[in-house]
Amino acid sequence: ADGYYEYTTNECVYSTSDYSDMVYLRSLSFNKDVFVQFNSTVGKFVGLTELGVMNAERLNKDQAILHQIKAEVDRFCRHNAQIWDPSVRDKA
């Protein structure tokens, strides 16, 4: 029963049909507490705990990681929204 639980969530948040306000959020959690988060509006990782601050500093120094995750707004969010959004809006 003892152990640790780590997971990542990816969210795309938007309210306009042209996706101009789309924000990509990636949250890293440990034992149900979010410790670091990337927000595409901010453009970098932000630490929410002491562990998160250390990880955010390390991740923000890696330009390859930042470049890749900044592209997720188009690759992951807009791409999937264009596929799924029309079917959801048609049902409303």
Instruction: Return all residues near 25 (Cβ < 8 A) that are at least 6 apart.
Output: 9, 10, 11, 12, 13, 37, 38, 39, 40
Instruction: Return all residues near 54 (Cβ < 8 A) that are at least 6 apart.
Output: 47
The pLDDT assigned to 11 comes to: 96
| Residue ranges in the chain whose pLDDT is less than 50 | none
